[in-house]
Structure 1
Amino acid sequence: MSTHRDPHSTVMRELLVRYLDAWTPAVLRSHRRATYIEAGDLAAAALRVFAEFADRLAGHHLDVVLVGGSPVLREGGEPHGLSLRSVEDPASLTVRGPVLAHVDVTAGSALTEPDVWRLVTSLAPEVLLTLPPAPAEQVTAYRTRLRSAGLTYALTVELTDDEGHARLLVFATAEVKHLTTFKNELWAADEFAGIRYRDPRDAEHTLVDISLRPQLLPLRRALLDQLARRGSCTVADLQKHTLQETIYRPADTVEVLTSAAAAGTITREPRKGRLSPRTVVHTGQA
């Protein structure tokens, strides 16, 4: 039997584990109960993360729900404070506290895309979805549906392998801090996994290597387009746009704007000094 792993799955597993490493202690610190829903094939990876926080489960309850027979390898006893159960229909779920759901409809999940949207509408969980690639218009429609469900902040990014096969990753949350955390983990993933990122709403379809210092050309285009529409705005406004509407991080905004100002592509007030969130930038040359 081949032991070759699909690079998409490798990156997805790493992103989930990285995010759970941040999500788990945060929810256990601030809530008595929380729920994790798995509708893919990463239950074992999630349970290994939860086991690392067994000491923090004391006095708390973490409910792990496997949907539609999601596979899991039991590698030991469940930590005190963690329960593991299976359900066939997520519509029957009742949950308390924060909810994070991982759903992969590309890996033989029992859930279809309509099932996913019913889950999102009924529970409004923080979600990490893997879907087939979709055109920009469809991705925008996904984001609109997520906002309507109360998940105001979203990231949509294509994971593309060396042969051009792609999957669409969607992360959505009601907490802007959680979006920031996930984006930081997105760019800290293993850059040797054979996957590059692409913003599905980038008209140039530029592929970007995974790196802590990624190529910023797609962000430059997005920010200059935004600035052209508005005429002028603060650096803080453009950092917010970067966080909420692109695959990049707010800190990347400053690097792009600093380069654009040095090239004379944009002007700024004040004209000298480091860019701060209150610095105003204008489209066009001085």
Structure 2
Amino acid sequence: MPTEAVGHAPFLRHLDRWVPAALRRARRATVALAYDGSDPNLAEQTVRLAGEHAARLRGCRLTVLVLAEGTEELPARLGAAEAGLPTEVAVHLMPGPPARLPVALRAAGAAGAPVLSYLEAADPVALTAAAAGRAAEAVVVAEAATPLRAALVDAGFALVTEVELVDADRRIGFGTGSDRSLEELKEILWASGSRFRDPYGEPLSPAARVEPAPLGRALLEELARVGPRTVTELRRYAVTETAYRAVDAVRALSDLLDTGRVTRTPQDGRLGGDVLVTPVRSGA
């Protein structure tokens, strides 16, 4: 598998959840792929998934935009995938690098509708265009040495995360405006079985239950830096700033409470989102 293709399966799984939600909300949406096109399977599967959802959601309009240099195989594979698609789905194949994404999105009539993009480059022009759509989301794959979180923030995404894939020498970033989408995408990445980097650069192997100490240490550092925070805020910190999931944050906080390194207000009840967590000062 090409190293870039490590992002294909997570993107397609997210797409499968994203399309019906987007079309129920807005009745029209755009899916944009900007990559080299050397693996036509990604574009083909995207088109087929789009057709399956559109067939069940009549009266909607879904556009699939493929921006790629590609090979001779790509147009043929897309043409085969288009055969038999419902009229609600439009497919556009355009040549060019990711920097042409703003032009491609305008040509596809994506303005004012939800847009989900898949990019295999941290091109700032492409990222800004991907963030401009209504309820925009983007999955980005780049070399491990390429920071993606800051680039996604600069592009205009309200919520971002990134994970470094230890065994693929690649980094996957995600930008969105939805906490739910953020947590779902992180769960999808964990389900892939890939190893990530924890906040201290050590390999992190996904599991149903993970060792809470590294994340607990990171949460303590965040609390020391910014002061007391709610469980909701600490869950978001774990999802956006580390490779961990929201559920891991709750487990790490429970461990910190059990060992007396933080306190909570109120003291009793479920460790819910509005519970305030305060670090315990050394020697207190």
User: What is the letter of the counterpart of residue 259 of structure 1?
Assistant: D
Instruction: Using the TM superposition, name which of 273-282 and 18-27 deviates more.
Output: 273-282
CA pair 271-61 structure 1, distance change in 2 beyond 3 A: closer
CA pair 83-139 structure 1, distance change in 2 beyond 3 A: closer
Q: Distance in 1 between matches of 2:150 and 2:158?
A: 13
Q: Distance in 2 between matches of 1:122 and 1:282?
A: 37
Aligned to 1:68: 68
Q: Are 1:185 and 2:188 matched, yes or no?
A: yes
Aligned to 2:256: 260
Question: With structure 2 as the length reference, what TM-score do the two structures score?
Answer: 0.80
Aligned to 1:160: 166
CA drift at 1:246? 2.5
Aligned to 1:175: 178
Structure 1 unaligned residues grouped into runs of 5+ = 106-111
CA drift at 1:16? 1.1
CA drift at 1:100? 0.8
Q: Are 1:99 and 2:150 matched, yes or no?
A: no
Retained in 1: the 8 A contact 2:30–2:116?
yes
CA pair 227-206 structure 1, distance change in 2 beyond 3 A: same
CA pair 152-261 structure 1, distance change in 2 beyond 3 A: same
CA pair 215-44 structure 1, distance change in 2 beyond 3 A: farther
Aligned to 2:143: 132
Q: Distance in 1 between matches of 2:60 and 2:266?
A: 51
Retained in 1: the 8 A contact 2:212–2:255?
no
Q: Are 1:233 and 2:229 matched, yes or no?
A: yes
Structure whose residues are more often helix by fraction: 2
Q: Distance in 2 between matches of 1:50 and 1:17?
A: 10
CA pair 242-122 structure 1, distance change in 2 beyond 3 A: closer
Q: Distance in 2 between matches of 1:152 and 1:207?
A: 28
Aligned to 1:109: none
Aligned to 1:197: 196
CA drift at 1:259? 0.8
For these two proteins, the number of residue pairs brought into alignment is 260
CA pair 20-117 structure 1, distance change in 2 beyond 3 A: closer
Q: Distance in 2 between matches of 1:177 and 1:121?
A: 17
CA pair 144-25 structure 1, distance change in 2 beyond 3 A: closer
CA drift at 1:104? 1.3
CA pair 62-139 structure 1, distance change in 2 beyond 3 A: closer
How big is the alpha-carbon RMSD for the aligned residues of Structure 1 and Structure 2?
2.6
Q: Distance in 1 between matches of 2:115 and 2:261?
A: 44
Structure 2 unaligned residues grouped into runs of 5+ = none
Instruction: Name the % identity.
Output: 30
Q: Deviations over 1:100-130 (max 9, x none)?
A: 111113xxxxxx7355345346658421111
